[in-house]
Amino acid sequence: MEISLFMKCVFEFLGTLILVLFGDGVCAACTLNKSKAQGAGWVVITLGWGFAVMAGVFVAGPYSGAHLNPAVSLGLALAGLFPWGAVIPYICAQMLGGFLGAVLVYAFYADHFAATSDNPDGMLGCFCTMPAIEHKTVNFFSEFIATFVLVFLIMALGSRGNVAAFDGVPVGLGGVGAFPVTAVIMALGMSLGGTTGYAMNPARDLSPRIAHAILPIRGKRDSGWSYSWIPAIAPLCGGAFAAAVYLITYAVI
């Protein structure tokens, strides 16, 4: 049965919501006062984000392809692997899902946010990224490279050498395909996440940042708008560059 573009967007919305609910949720669990996981550290956060992506892919993968990220949708379209007419609807669904996911994290941890009014930077970090050292040129480069690697590896995972085949016909891996992407997200966080927090996804960063600005969080700081354009624009540029590299490598083989 053919799935309509609207239903594909519904699954992109749900998948991105789950991604941000789990991803921002692990940040909240490890950061907020009186949380049983407070202080669990970077390894738990990177594992949590990897599994968050896996959960989102399980929800959306069979029906929308589980982009869950505007940079992925843009990159795939530029590489000729996704129809341009679906790019804007997908991005709108992803951004809305990211926003609601962040709102649900706040509702879930509301008492803990109230107990963490002495740490406004930590509360912001439960929603979106900020750099460890603010140097916008380097920060942009960090997000650009991390997203390039993410999108390029997603494209590589779909290449002939990485897809099972039966009698020469590619065979979809179904939910199993979520595991390589999960490993990629974890590796990126552990290896390249220390500079900016590895947003790599406007729906994971800008949408929750807007939620932080709107929600009535006691003791919160500003939402870091002077930095916000970097995790919004750099991932799109990284995804576009990944498409260009794919077209001059895998696509010509």
pLDDT 10s per residue in the chain (253 long)? 789 999 999 999 999 999 999 999 999 999 999 999 999 999 999 999 999 999 999 999 999 999 999 999 999 999 999 999 999 999 999 999 999 999 999 999 999 999 999 999 999 999 999 999 999 999 999 999 999 999 999 999 877 666 554 455 444 444 556 888 999 999 999 999 999 999 999 999 999 999 999 999 999 999 999 999 999 999 999 999 999 999 999 877 7
Residues 6+ apart with CB under 8 A from 169: none
> How many Cβ atoms sit within 10 Å of the Cβ of residue 219?
13
Distance of CA 28 to the CA centre of its chain: 16
CA distance 202 to 229: 9
Residues 6+ apart with CB under 8 A from 137: none
Q: Which stretches of the chain are DSSP H helices?
A: 5-31, 42-64, 70-78, 87-108, 110-114, 120-125, 136-157, 178-192, 202-214, 225-247
39 backbone dihedrals φ, ψ, rounded to 5°? 85, 5
Judge contact between 204 and 218, C-beta under 8 A.
Answer: no
Distance of CA 59 to the CA centre of its chain: 15
CATH number of the domain within which 80 lies: 1.20.1080.10
Residues 6+ apart with CB under 8 A from 167: none
Judge contact between 107 and 93, C-beta under 8 A.
Answer: no
Domain span at residue 244 reads: 5-252
Predicted TM-score (pTM) of the model is 0.94
| Confidence at residue 158, expressed as pLDDT on a 0 to 100 scale | 76
| Confidence at residue 91, expressed as pLDDT on a 0 to 100 scale | 98
Domain count, the chain: 1
| Confidence at residue 162, expressed as pLDDT on a 0 to 100 scale | 63
> How many Cβ atoms sit within 10 Å of the Cβ of residue 251?
14
| Confidence at residue 222, expressed as pLDDT on a 0 to 100 scale | 98
Task: Count how many residues are written for the chain.
Answer: 253
| Confidence at residue 253, expressed as pLDDT on a 0 to 100 scale | 75
Q: Which of 116, 115, 64, 117 is nearest to 92 (CA)?
A: 64
